[in-house]
Amino acid sequence: MAILSTTIEKRVPFHDLDPLNVLWHGHYVAYMEEAREAFLEKYGIGYTQMGGKGYIEPLVNVNVTYRGSFVYGDTVVIEIVYKPSRKAVIEFDYKFYRKSDGKLMTEASSKQHFVNKDFEPVFSRPDFYKEWQDKWKVFE
């Protein structure tokens, strides 16, 4: 089975800090979105392509476990790993590391569910998604 992943780096800017001078917890979801976009672009299944096929993929679940805090100027290394599913979902796991010492700071996961353009749930994988999974051999 192929493991599909990618890694991005992001420097923590001042405007992402909370009153305690650490990365505000809500920004982790935005950082996850940046990692997802990089992953989808790398593997040729971006939001534009999926939208062109008549599907939208809203988030339905996000879980974040904080193990430490990032501060202003830290470089965050975000590793995103695709979790194959035979359902009409796209799932990822994330690990956030502090680049300066490689310390694992945060673990997270996300789940998106396919819906059509009218926001009606889709209960089986769209054909283009099955073809994409086959291309990358995610079940072999």
97-135, pLDDT tens digit by residue? 999 999 999 999 999 999 999 999 999 999 999 999 999
On whether the CB atoms of residues 63 and 25 are closer than 8 A, the answer is no
pLDDT tens column, 49-64: 899 999 999 999 999 9
140 assigned to some structural domain? no
In the chain, the number of structural domains is 1
**pLDDT surpassing 90 at residue 20:** yes
CATH code, domain carrying 83: 3.10.129.10
Domain ranges, residue 92 = 5-135
Q: How far apart are CA 115 and CA 126, in angstroms?
A: 10
* Residue 94 dihedral angles phi and psi, to the nearest 5°: -130, 145
**pLDDT surpassing 90 at residue 140:** no
Q: What is the mean pLDDT of residues 17-27?
A: 96
53 assigned to some structural domain? yes
Q: How far apart are CA 82 and CA 76, in angstroms?
A: 19
36 assigned to some structural domain? yes
Beta strands in 47-102 (DSSP E): 55-56, 59-66, 75-83, 89-98
- Global confidence as pTM: 0.96
Instruction: Label residues 125-140 b or e (16+ Cβ within 10 Å = b).
Output: bbeebeebbeebebee
